[in-house]
Amino acid sequence: MRLLLISNSTNAGEAYLDYPKMEIKKFLGDDVKKILFIPYAAVTFSFDDYQKKVQERFSEIGYEVDSIHLYDHNKKKQALKDAEAIVVGGGNTFNLLKIMQQQDLLETIRYECLKGKPYVGWSAGSNVACPTICTTNDMPIVEPESFHATNLLRFQINPHYLDANPEGHAGETREQRLEEYLVANPYTYVVGLREGTMLKVDNAEVKLIGPRKARIFKFEEEPRELGPDDDFDFLFE
């Protein structure tokens, strides 16, 4: 299984997908020529526009972007099976999961990735690689059939993880919200994936890429800060 799970698409002041593009290139390599994109996290713009936006950046690293929304309903699963790599974009995680469930894509994605097909996701696309989407930051603007996702990982990711508690803000911090999740799900690790970073999964080997550390949460344990040189393999134990 080969996964590249990116916290965010865009760093402040940078172009869309600019910071992760070379890591995506390194991950996909030269054997992949065309990727199959899943644009269903888009809400305020069309799937056609999303494909075009991703194609503009992927052209710079040598890949053609096909999109699953262009296929008839009865041909989407075959498109996933035929794809050289699967790429899932960010946006609203609930919208993404709802459409993936409606089109019965989750098990096919899981099966293809467990066979070794490369998977790249950012933000919501990273969330749906987890067992559930329960650690997304997004508003539930639609109701999926359930919160269960592709279950490629044994742990949860919180993309865009923030340490900040803005002055004057009296609500819960991100850490407090994740602690709530852990009370209800005490056997699960959560990786707070800060912006500008990503996790690369090669079978059960997990590596952090980027300039910031990840914050690791587990019920009744002190959060841990782990960097690119640290061992993350315990997440699959």
Active-site positions? 123, 138, 160
- Position 172 scores a pLDDT of 82
Which amino acid, 83? A
- Position 166 scores a pLDDT of 64
- Position 134 scores a pLDDT of 98
Query: What are the residue ranges spanned by the domains of the chain?
Result: 2-236
Rounded-to-integer distance, Cα 150 and Cα 1, Å: 13
- Position 167 scores a pLDDT of 67
108-116-25-233 Cα dihedral, nearest 10 degrees: 110
- The residue among 44, 6, 212, 1 whose CA lies nearest residue 128 is 6
Contact at 8 Å (CB) between 195 and 188? no
Q: Which three-class secondary structure string do you get for 69-99?
A: HHCCHHHHHHHHHHCCCEEECCCCHHHHHHH
- Position 170 scores a pLDDT of 59
The 3-state DSSP class for residue 224 equals: strand
């690790």: which residue's tokens? 189
- Position 163 scores a pLDDT of 86
Specify the CATH number for 2-236; select among 3.30.450.20, 3.40.309.10, 3.40.50.880, 3.30.70.260: 3.40.50.880
Rounded-to-integer distance, Cα 38 and Cα 52, Å: 12
- Position 237 scores a pLDDT of 82
E-strand ranges in the chain read 2-6, 34-38, 64-67, 86-88, 119-122, 156-161, 190-194, 198-202, 205-209, 214-217, 224-226
Tens of pLDDT along the chain (237 residues) come to 999 999 999 999 999 999 999 999 999 999 999 999 999 999 999 999 999 999 999 999 999 999 999 999 999 999 999 999 999 999 999 999 999 999 999 999 999 999 999 999 999 999 999 999 999 999 999 999 999 999 999 999 999 999 876 666 656 889 999 999 999 999 999 999 999 999 999 998 999 999 999 999 999 999 999 999 999 999 998
Q: DSSP secondary structure string, 108-142?
A: HHHHHHHTT--EEEETHHHHTTSSBSTT--S---S
